[in-house]
Amino acid sequence: MKDQVMLEVKNLDVAYHDFEAVHDISLSIKQGSVVSIIGANGAGKSTIMKTIVGINKPKKGSVQFMGQDITGTRTSKIVSMGLTMSPEGSHTFEKMTIRDNLLMGAFLAKSNRERMEQLEKIYHLFPILKEKQNQLASFLSGGQRQMLAIGRAIMAEPKMLLLDEVSLGLAPVIIKDIYAKIKEINEQGLTLLLVEQDVTRSLKHSDYAYVVLEGRIVMEGKSAELDINEVNDAYFGMNKFA
Amino acid sequence: MLQVIVTGVLLGGLYAIIGVGMSLVFGIMRLTNLAHGDLMILGTYITMILMKGMGIPIWASAILSIVAMLVVGFVIQNFLVNRVLDKGDEPALLVTFGVSIFLSNLLLKIFGADNQSIVNPLAKMNVLSTEALSISAMYLFSFVVGVIVIVGLHYVLEKTNFGRSIRATSNDTMAAELMGVNTRRAYVYAMVIALGIAALAGTLIGSTFVFYPSSGTQYLIIAFGVVVIGGMGSVIGTLAGGIVLGVSQLLGGYIFGSGVQMLIAYLVLLIILALRPNGLFASATRK
Amino acid sequence: MLKQQMIKYIVITAIIVIALIAVPFVGSESLMATMTLILIYMAMGQMWNLMGGYAGLLSLGMQSFIGIGGYSLAVFSVSYGMNVYLAILVGAVISVVFALVISPALFKMSGVYFAIGSWVVAEALIIAFSNWSFVKYAKGIGINSVYRISPTQIYFTALILGLGAVLVVFIMMRTKIGLALMGMRDNISAAETMGVEIFRTKLKCYLIASFITGLAGGVMYMMQGYIMPSSGFSISWTVAMTFMVIIGGIGTMEGPIIGAILYVLLTQYLYNFPGMSMIILGLVAVVVILIAPRGIMGTLREKTGLEILSPRRAYK
């Protein structure tokens, strides 16, 4: 099963009104791997993520998930196929309790019993969420909110998860904590696509990386083999690839 | 005085059930349905003609009216409102305004401008009749139904998976979609439920007061008042909103004469709107 | 604007104005009656559009000013023997005063709250007037002071009103108010930083709209000759305004003109089918919003870049 391609993005073009956000993006993500998209603010990373899960509609190109074409499919349908995303800014349900937030994650589960079982698993992974389960999400700190968003996303036991900017605005010690959890989740078999602004962290936590500059992929390769300095240059658009 | 307050509270239960559907729709899609009053009156007329025209008993007519309005809700949301929701607030608001004009005049064309009423056994009965206080059976019945519907809806929203998905959609549409909720469909469910309740409210209204094709306007304002006072989108709040409005209307009538009682209710609404633009109970209703 | 183009515009405007002045002398009486209605409705539509289309104040309560205008005409000219035109003018002034009085409350509400709040005010006026002996309760007042006024004279009054309304908006859009309005519509976040300025601009628009809508109410009832609370303050006035602006194109100056012509012709045609006109108007409005939410002018402009009267206004 390993080494089989799970998500295949081909020649994706996305435009907002007249402004083209990303151009000719192709990605290939193998089952069980962690892939990261590295790029500066506004490079088009979030646009790529949102287009994969159907929030944005592409102008050109295709997205295939487990051999099925999901280009332009409604987000809720894509989610039901086992591909989901934890969006930038966490987007937890502020007016709902932690528990209800998590239960929403398993909205598509067959039964309440299944939901409760999942809930226990998530509480085991993030004990802090159990402690605060009856509080409103709006009372959580930034790091806890990120954990809630991740916990909520894996409540549905997806096959693949996109994580958009999980470390944005968080203290280093909390970021370390979150990445430890991410590693744990991946080891349980979940395929991950990460978006990250921090080059070092990205390369450290992924198997394969794409560097995006001004809406185009300017560099890609196995994370362990990529040279940090070269990636940094590509990130800022200061080398031959730009 | 006691009489006025008791009757006002009971009337408030009826008002609350008029407003609760509007609150639900506002809560989930930020849409103020300007056709809400006319749709409710449509429900009233459906119940009436089933009874008068076909001799169906009132309870069965009410159920059929609810079923019919569920279908109307599906059609309105699926084919009209959902198609303009992403074009900004104004088009959706104006679509419901267009539906309102269409409906009230359609009813006028079919039924004429005459006053109508739904004949029912409760209308002339009192459950309590003393010198100090008499309680109309119909008012009490409406109040009880109102409380049951609102508490029931609140329970569904708070405790069930379906209800959670409605709350999630109203809280953050994109995130709800990412949980696998088809939010467009959630909108349809909300409108369908809202209009089902509106048909029930319409039947109660028609059994309590006379009505005519343009009654919708008056009830739209009442519904709006209930929703504003109770806090836009809060289901339990509508009960408080209904009672505030009902009591102030009857109290106003008691002090200034029954001709101006609605005027007092409208003024109370305007004052509350100006002082607390987010509703009286906006912060208190969602803990 | 190029000088040549300017001359062209002036010539065209002059031709239209002369044609409008000539209507009573060359046209039939029914044409004149139709034109009178179009001109009055055009003034109402322009004002609704000034608020809803430019100032972002979607109002469902402009009928308050129609009623006040109509009732002022009735009360002052019938009961106090005041000159009809003066009575209409007094009505417009009362409209502004009324708008000023309710504005502190109304302007605390925004968006849909403003829309419904202003509607509730009008509904409250219906009840208040129905219980007020001074205006003869709900049975209304016959405005016999206008019975002797000739249709031609009413036509010219409507002509001045209609052209005046267009001119006012035309000039406003080319002053500081216009600039502020464009800024508000196009870039809300930037405009938010100057909250007081926005409030003043919106209030100015509201007061101007209440004045001219009050005038329009007076002129309308000069033609109708009888007023009741339920008709004077009826939501159907706002229905007409909304319809005209939606069909013609919200946020364009040409929109209400085209809308008024279509509205009057359509309602006149539908007189032949009693009870159908409002049903069809409602239906048409819904269909237009679904397929062409920017109305006739908005859609035309989008397709061809055509602009006649309106200054540039970018769409979101």
- B29-44 pLDDT, tens digit per residue, is 989 899 999 999 999 9
How far CA A17 is from CA of A20, A56, B89, in Å, comes to 8, 12, 20
B136: closest CA of chain C, how far (Å): 27
CB–CB of B178 and A91 under 8 A? yes
- Residue that has been written with the tokens 């036991």 in this structure: A157
CB–CB of A104 and B165 under 8 A? yes
pLDDT tens for A164-199 read: 998 888 999 999 999 999 999 999 999 999 998 888
pLDDT beyond 90 at C156: yes
pLDDT beyond 60 at B286: no
pLDDT tens for C49-69 read: 999 988 888 899 999 999 999
Q: What pLDDT score was predicted for residue C316?
A: 36
CB–CB of B32 and C58 under 8 A? no
Q: What contacts C139, CB < 8 A, 6 or more positions away?
A: C228
Q: What pLDDT score was predicted for residue C308?
A: 66
Strand, helix or coil at A193? strand
Give the model's confidence band at C184: pLDDT under 50 very low, under 70 low, under 90 confident, else very high.
confident
Average pLDDT on B215-227 reads: 92
Mean pLDDT of chain C: 89
pLDDT beyond 90 at B167: yes
pLDDT tens for B243-254 read: 999 999 999 999
Selecting from C113, C290, C293 the residue whose C-beta is nearest the C-beta of B277 gives C113
CB–CB of C282 and B217 under 8 A? no
Give the number of other Cβ atoms within 10 Å of residue A130's Cβ. Answer: 16
pLDDT beyond 70 at C189: no
Comparing C218 with C295, the larger pLDDT belongs to C218
Give the model's confidence band at A41: pLDDT under 50 very low, under 70 low, under 90 confident, else very high.
confident
pLDDT beyond 80 at B232: no
CB of C103 closer than 8 Å to CB of C206: yes
Give the model's confidence band at C314: pLDDT under 50 very low, under 70 low, under 90 confident, else very high.
very low
pLDDT beyond 50 at B226: yes
CB of A2 closer than 8 Å to CB of A30: yes
Q: Which residues pair with A30 in a beta bridge?
A: A5
Q: What pLDDT score was predicted for residue A236?
A: 79
User: Can you read off the two tokens belonging to residue C153?
Assistant: 């004279």
pLDDT tens for A206-242 read: 999 999 998 999 999 999 998 888 888 888 776 544 4
Backbone phi, psi, residue B116, to 5°: -130, 165
Selecting from B32, B80, B217 the residue whose C-beta is nearest the C-beta of C290 gives B80
Instruction: Say how far apart CA A189 and CA B231 lie, in whole Å.
Output: 46
Comparing A187 with B1, the larger pLDDT belongs to A187
Report CA C154 to chain centroid distance, whole Å: 17
pLDDT beyond 70 at B109: yes
User: Can you read off the two tokens belonging to residue C296?
Assistant: 């006739």
pLDDT tens for C259-281 read: 999 999 999 998 888 888 889 98
Q: What pLDDT score was predicted for residue C315?
A: 40
Instruction: Say how far apart CA B43 and CA B64 lie, in whole Å.
Output: 10
In A, which residues are within 8 Å of B177 by CB distance?
Answer: 55, 74-76, 79
B98: closest CA of chain C, how far (Å): 5
Mean pLDDT of chain A: 91
- The DSSP secondary structure of B26-66, one letter per residue, reads HHHH----TTHHHHHHHHHHHHHHHHHHH---HHHHHHHHH
Cα torsion angle, C52, C58, C60, C65, sign: negative
Q: Which residues pair with C152 in a beta bridge?
A: none
pLDDT beyond 80 at C204: yes
Comparing B119 with A149, the larger pLDDT belongs to A149
pLDDT tens for B46-93 read: 999 999 999 999 999 999 999 999 999 999 999 999 999 888 777 888
Q: What pLDDT score was predicted for residue C214?
A: 98
Q: What pLDDT score was predicted for residue B249?
A: 93
Selecting from C58, C111, C117 the residue whose C-beta is nearest the C-beta of B270 gives C117
H/E element holding C281?
Answer: helix C277-291
Distance in angstroms between the alpha carbons of the first and the last residue of chain C = 25
CA-nearest residue to C106 within chain B is B274
Q: Mark which residues 166-205 of B lie under 8 Å from A by CB.
A: 167-168, 171-172, 174-183
Kindly report which listed range (A95-99, C196-200, C284-288, C295-299) carries the lowest average pLDDT score: C196-200
pLDDT beyond 70 at B283: no
Using a pLDDT cut of 70, give the percent of chain A over it.
Answer: 95
CA-nearest residue to B103 within chain C is C279
pLDDT beyond 70 at A12: yes
How far CA C192 is from CA of A180, C179, C188, C189, in Å, comes to 43, 15, 6, 5
Using a pLDDT cut of 90, give the percent of chain A over it.
Answer: 77
Q: What pLDDT score was predicted for residue C45?
A: 97
CB–CB of B182 and A76 under 8 A? yes
pLDDT tens for C119-142 read: 999 999 999 999 999 999 899 999
Q: What pLDDT score was predicted for residue A99?
A: 97
CB of C82 closer than 8 Å to CB of C76: yes
A contact chains, 3+ CB pairs < 8 A:
B
CB–CB of B178 and A100 under 8 A? no
In C, which residues are within 8 Å of B103 by CB distance?
Answer: 282
Comparing B232 with C297, the larger pLDDT belongs to C297
Selecting from A93, A108, A153 the residue whose C-beta is nearest the C-beta of B172 gives A93
Using a pLDDT cut of 90, give the percent of chain C over it.
Answer: 58
Average pLDDT on A121-127 reads: 94
List residues in chain B touching C: CB distance below 8 A: 32, 34, 80, 83-84, 87-91, 93-95, 97-106, 108-109, 217-218, 221, 224-225, 228, 257, 259-260, 262-263, 266-267, 269-271, 273-275, 277
B contact chains, 3+ CB pairs < 8 A:
A, C
Give the model's confidence band at B96: pLDDT under 50 very low, under 70 low, under 90 confident, else very high.
very high
Mean pLDDT of chain B: 91
A228: closest CA of chain B, how far (Å): 34
Q: Kindly provide the b/e burial profile for residues B87-113, where b requires at least 16 CB atoms within 10 angstroms of the residue's own CB.
A: eeebbbbbbbbbbbbbbbbbbbeeeee
Selecting from B179, B182, B183 the residue whose C-beta is nearest the C-beta of A104 gives B179
DSSP A57: P
CB–CB of A104 and B286 under 8 A? no
pLDDT tens for C68-123 read: 999 999 999 999 999 999 999 999 999 999 999 999 999 988 778 898 899 999 99
Q: What pLDDT score was predicted for residue A28?
A: 95
Comparing C307 with B29, the larger pLDDT belongs to B29
pTM over 0.80, yes/no: yes
Q: What pLDDT score was predicted for residue C239?
A: 87
pLDDT beyond 90 at C193: no
CB of C138 closer than 8 Å to CB of C230: yes
C69: closest CA of chain B, how far (Å): 21
Burial of B162 (0-12, 13-18, 19+ CB in 10 A): middle
CB–CB of B95 and C290 under 8 A? yes
Q: What contacts C247, CB < 8 A, 6 or more positions away?
A: C255, C258, C259, C262, C263, C284, C285, C288, C295, C296
Comparing A38 with C298, the larger pLDDT belongs to A38
Give the model's confidence band at A40: pLDDT under 50 very low, under 70 low, under 90 confident, else very high.
confident
CB–CB of C112 and B32 under 8 A? yes
CB of B179 closer than 8 Å to CB of A156: yes
List residues in chain A touching B: CB distance below 8 A: 53, 55, 74-77, 79-80, 84-87, 91-96, 100, 103-105, 107-108, 112, 115, 136, 152-153, 156
A76: closest CA of chain B, how far (Å): 4
pLDDT beyond 60 at B287: no
Q: What contacts C290, CB < 8 A, 6 or more positions away?
A: B80, B83, B84, B95
CA-nearest residue to B223 within chain C is C116
Beta-strand relationship, A160-164 and A191-196: parallel
* Rg of chain A in Å (alpha carbons): 18
Backbone phi, psi, residue A239, to 5°: -135, -170
pLDDT beyond 80 at A101: yes
Size of interface A-B (CB pairs under 8 A): 72
Selecting from A85, A91, A107 the residue whose C-beta is nearest the C-beta of B181 gives A107
Q: What pLDDT score was predicted for residue A2?
A: 54
